[in-house]
Amino acid sequence: MSKEWPLWEVFIRSQHGLAHKHVGSLHAPDAGMAINNARDVYTRRNEGVSIWVVRATDIVASSPGDKDALFEPSNSKVYRHPTFFPMPEEVKNL
Amino acid sequence: MYAQMVETGLKKVQTSDDMSAEEREFQARIDAGVKIEAKDWMPDAYRKTLIRQISQHAHSEIVGQLPEGNWVTRAPTLKRKSILLAKIQDEAGHGLYLYSAAETLGVSRDELLAALHSGKAKYSSIFNYPTLSWADMGAIGWLVDGSAIINQIPLCRCSYGPYSRAMIRVCKEESFHARQGYDIMMALSKGTPEQKAMAQDALNRWWWPSLMMFGPSDAASVNSAQSAQWRIKLFSNDELRQRMVDQTVPQIEYLGLTVPDPDLKWNAARGSYDFGEIDWEEFHQVLKGNGPCNRERLRTRVKAWDDGEWFRDALVAYADKQEAKQAAA
Amino acid sequence: MGANCVDAKVNYLLRQGDNALILSQRLSELCGKGPALEEDMALTNVALDLLGQTRMWYTYAGELEGQGRDEDRIAYHRDAHDFKNCLLVEQNNGNYADTLVRQFFFDTWHYFLIGALTKCGDTRIAEIAEKSLKEVTYHLRRSGDLVVRLGDGTEVSHAKTQTAVNELWMYTGEFFNYDEVDQAMVAAGIAPAADELRAQWLAHVSDILAEATLAMPAPDAWMQKGGKQGRHTEHLGYLLAEMQFLQRAYPGSQW
């Protein structure tokens, strides 16, 4: 069987977005074609986007088992989240 | 549906006693509404069932381009042609999102395609019917995509993260599909007597196959019950089919067309329509490969794949050459 | 503007619309039949872009002509001898190399033409060109890139692509073979001069073919012509019969 086109993960930042979001994956023989294909597959309804493609095999992910060790510290520092501090109704823009 | 009668490989719905400790923990997460993600532990049966379900769905989208592709070169106005092209393009895109989701489960797209091309893997029965007139474009968008939406919206909440996110993406794009189909039917129903007859004829041919899309009654199905426990199937086939009938009959009446079912009757007690017997023998034959278009559909896909081998290989060869050049530099 | 000039402009607009329509139609034939899913997406994308451009050209042509013809009347109710597309776009899809080389030859000319039209004296044409330029730029980037990959891919892809180049070459001269209509558009400050356009086309094509390790046929080879004047190949009749069937079989219907 012929060599398969490698798998690429696609990340898109929309025109008004602040960060690249993972939108899915596709197959392409190299990075250049992956970008072109990503444009056709994942940006049909948007203009002015930024596309990142990463070879799926290059992605290093945290292990689900690590969840507690990696994330527990920030979970217990709940005052980092704005909703922790209720504001009086009368006070705007905060 | 797009994935019909998906095998779980299990003979009975797993109870707590049947499950290992890991499986119990896994089931608890599902019951709590927590999403399962790609690298999480999952029972082998869950993984395999999802691969079947998602890949069947993906194959359906890809094969689904063909019945509509059959009329895109004959679309009667430039506007209709544009809309149909955009819909077909969406379908290819949906197939791609779904293959992506399936690949997170440890299977490659090429493996899945090989299963499709060999006839081992299934795709939705509906795409084995021929598109004989322009009105079929209306009927397909309205009834087939309409049925798909009924199935897909609940799947947006399914337990497997990548699949639910793919469904959310698909659903956003799908609503225009059903509308454009109904728009075609409206134009035909309001048109000349010949156009109205064309619309009625399309409805006559697509109504029953669309109802068959939801699959046979699964009240006694172990597979359906297990999938429901895993939250990858959220409503029974009969429930979804009933929803489809109840929502569509008024739409048919609005068009001034006739439902091709002499047994259709409003049942006030149930608050739903009673409808006639479905020919399940036809359904099973179509799934087995004996539908009107099974051979052509599969041959077309296999031909595209085989004819395209030199192209795919060429792109790999070029990429390899470039990589070698860069390494040497 | 004199009547003749309006006629010439309408004719010129129809040429642009016809090129885009016929090529879009050819690409639509490939729905669901490409060599990879990503290619299916890309092909329909180009087909859709071209169709959008067709509609802009036809709408303007119909308005200028002032005979009440809308885009559909123009697309569905002319016979082959009234179509003014160049011969290249009506060629069969053939194998995928034929499809891509046809696209590349067209996209290169299209890119330079549209670029020039964005700066022309007719504001409406300039607007249409402006809207089309982004799409056409992408089309050219894609088709040129694929020609390079196939030319410099495997022996098989190289051979198929070279054959496609050799066989489609004789249709590439028509773009620059200006007749009275083209000349009138040059005089009106709309169309770019033929030799300028041809030089740009040859430069880009020769760069890409070289990078693709493909041989370029002689620029002064004998070229086919006639498409712009309504003398087509045998392909167009069949293409139109399929495309126009419903409108012809059910005249006067709304769809």
B179-196 pLDDT, tens per residue?
999 999 999 999 999 999
Contact check, Cβ <8 Å, B312/A30: no
The answer to whether A70 faces chain C, any CB pair under 8 Å, is no
- The whole-number average pLDDT for the span B227-239 is 91
Q: What is the span of the domain harbouring residue A33?
A: 7-61
Which has more confidence, B184 or B15? B184
The per-residue pLDDT for range B295-313, each reduced to its tens digit, is: 999 999 999 999 999 999 9
Does residue A55 lie within any of the structural domains?
yes
Radius of gyration of chain C (CA): 18
Distance from CA of B43 to the nearest CA of C (A): 31
Nearest CA of chain B to the CA of C85: how many Å? 17
Mean pLDDT of B20-40: 91
Separation between Cα atoms, residue B259 and residue C247, nearest integer Å: 28
B98-148 pLDDT tens trace: 999 999 999 999 999 999 999 999 999 999 999 999 999 999 999 999 999
Q: What are chain B's partners, defined as 3 or more CB pairs within 8 angstroms?
A: A, C
* C36 and A CB contact within 8 Å: yes
DSSP character string of B196-243: HHHHHHHHHHHHHHHHHTT-S--TT-HHHHHHHHTTS--S-HHHHHHH
Residue of A nearest to C48 (CA): A44
pLDDT in tens, B268-282: 999 999 999 999 999
Dump pLDDT digits (tens) for B189-215.
999 999 999 999 999 999 999 999 999
A4 shares contact with chain C (CB less than 8 Å): no
Find the residue in C nearest to A44 (Cα). Answer: C45
d(CA B54, CA C78): 47
Q: Do A41 and C142 make contact, defined as CB atoms within 8 angstroms? A: no
Query: Looking at residue B140, what DSSP letter applies?
Result: I
| Residue B144 DSSP symbol | I
**What is the pLDDT at residue A87?**
56
Residue with tokens 């079929």: B136
Chain B residue whose CA is closest to A44: B90
Helical segments of C29-90, H only: 37-65, 71-76, 87-90
Q: Please list, in sequence order, all residues whose beta carbon lies within 8 angstroms of the beta carbon of residue B287, skipping any fewer than 6 positions away.
A: B4, B5, B122, B125
Contact present, C42 and A37 (Cβ < 8 Å): yes
In angstroms, the separation between the Cα of residue A17 and the nearest Cα of chain B is 17
Residue (of C97, C104, C132, C98) closest to C16 by Cα position: C132
Sole residue written with tokens 């007139």: B133
Which residue type occupies B165? R
The distance of C115 to chain A (nearest Cα, Å) reads: 21
Quick check: is A31 in a domain? yes
The answer to the question of residue A20 being in a domain is yes
Higher pLDDT, B165 or A85: B165
Chain A CB within 8 Å of residue B315 CB:
yes
Q: Is B325 on the interface with C (CB under 8 A)?
A: no
Q: Looking at residue B288, what DSSP letter applies?
A: I
Residue C140 one-letter amino acid: L
| Strand ordering across the sheet containing A50-55 | A21-27, A7-13, A50-55
Helix, strand or coil for residue C196?
A: helix
Chain B, residues 232-291, CB within 8 A of chain C, namely none
Contact assignment for A28 to C38 by CB distance below 8 Å: yes
* Model pLDDT, residue C2: 63
d(C-alpha A65, C-alpha A27), whole Å: 29
Which residues does C129 contact at the CB level (< 8 Å), separation at least 6? Answer: C114, C115, C117, C118, C120
Residue A73: per-residue pLDDT = 46
Q: What is the pLDDT of residues A45-92, one digit of tens each?
A: 765 589 999 999 898 877 665 555 554 444 445 455 444 555 556 554
Q: Could you tell me which of A65, A71, A59, A74 has the C-alpha nearest to residue A25?
A: A59
C120 token code pair: 């022309």
Higher pLDDT, B16 or A15: B16
The CA distance from B67 to B65, in Å, is: 6
Residue A91 belongs to a domain: no
**In tens digits, what is the pLDDT along chain C, a chain of 255 residues?**
566 789 999 999 999 999 999 999 999 999 999 999 999 999 999 999 999 999 999 999 999 999 999 999 999 999 999 999 999 999 999 999 999 999 999 999 999 999 999 999 999 999 999 999 999 999 999 999 999 999 999 999 999 999 999 999 999 999 999 999 999 999 999 999 999 999 999 999 999 999 999 999 999 999 999 999 999 999 999 999 999 999 999 999 999
Task: Decide if B69 touches C, using CB distance below 8 A.
Answer: yes
Query: Does the CB of A33 have a partner CB in chain B at under 8 Å?
Result: yes
The domains found in chain C, sorted by start residue, are 3-249 (1.20.1260.10)
Q: Alpha-carbon distance B98 to B118, whole Å?
A: 20
CB contact B140 to C (< 8 Å): no
Distance CA C246, CA C255 (A): 10
Bridge-partner residues for A26, per DSSP? A8
B66-95: average pLDDT: 95
**Structure-block tokens of residue C144:** 């040129």
> Which backbone phi and psi does C160 adopt, to 5 degrees?
-65, -40
Q: What does the alpha-carbon distance between residue C52 and residue B50 come to, in Å, rounded to a whole number?
A: 40
The C-alpha of C84 sits at a distance from chain B's nearest C-alpha, in angstroms, of: 18
CA distance B1 to C76: 38
| Cβ-nearest to A30 among B173, B313, B322 | B322
- Please give the tally of structural domains in chain A: 1
Nearest CA in chain A to B109: A27
Residue A85 pLDDT:
52
Contact state of C41 with A32 under an 8 Å Cβ cutoff: no
8 Å CB contact between A35 and A51:
yes
Q: Cβ(A11)–Cβ(A54) under 8 Å?
A: yes
Residues in chain A with CB shorter than 8 Å from the CB of C140 are: none
Amino acid identity, position B130? P
| Cβ-defined contact of C38 to A44 (cutoff 8 Å) | no
Mean pLDDT, rounded, of chain B: 93
Q: State residue A23 phi and psi, 5-degree precision.
A: -115, -15
Chains that touch A (3 or more CB pairs under 8 A): B, C
CB-CB: which of C35, C54, C156 is closest to B308?
C35
Which residue intervals of chain B are DSSP H helices?
Answer: 21-31, 44-63, 65-72, 78-103, 109-117, 135-139, 145-155, 161-189, 193-212, 222-229, 237-255, 280-285, 294-307, 309-328
pLDDT (0 to 100) of residue B234: 87
Comparing alpha-carbon positions, the chain C residue that sits nearest to B186 is C255
Nearest C-alpha of chain A: how many angstroms from C38? Answer: 6
Task: Output the CA–CA distances (angstroms, integers) from residue C101 to B310, C163, C169, in the order listed.
Answer: 16, 10, 10
A 10 A CB-CB count for B191 gives 18
Whole-number pLDDT of residue A64: 62
Task: List Cα–Cα distances, B318 to A32, C141, C205, C224, in angstroms.
Answer: 12, 17, 19, 33
Tell whether A85 is covered by a domain.
no
Contact B94, B124 (CB under 8 A): no
- Report the CATH number that the domain containing residue A56 is assigned in CATH: 3.10.20.520
Determine the pLDDT at residue C61.
98
DSSP symbol at C217? P
Pairing relationship of beta strands B265-267 and A50-55 according to DSSP bridges = unpaired
- Does A45 fall in a domain? yes
Residues of B in contact with C76 (CB under 8 A): 76-77
Is B92 in contact with C40 (CB distance < 8 Å)?
A: yes
Q: Which two three-digit tokens encode residue B16?
A: 């707590």
Question: What residue in C sits closest to A25 (Cα-Cα)?
Answer: C38
**Around Cβ A17, how many Cβ atoms within 10 Å?**
12
Q: What is the C-alpha to C-alpha distance for residues C83 and C19, in angstroms, rounded to an integer?
A: 9
β-strand partners of B76: none
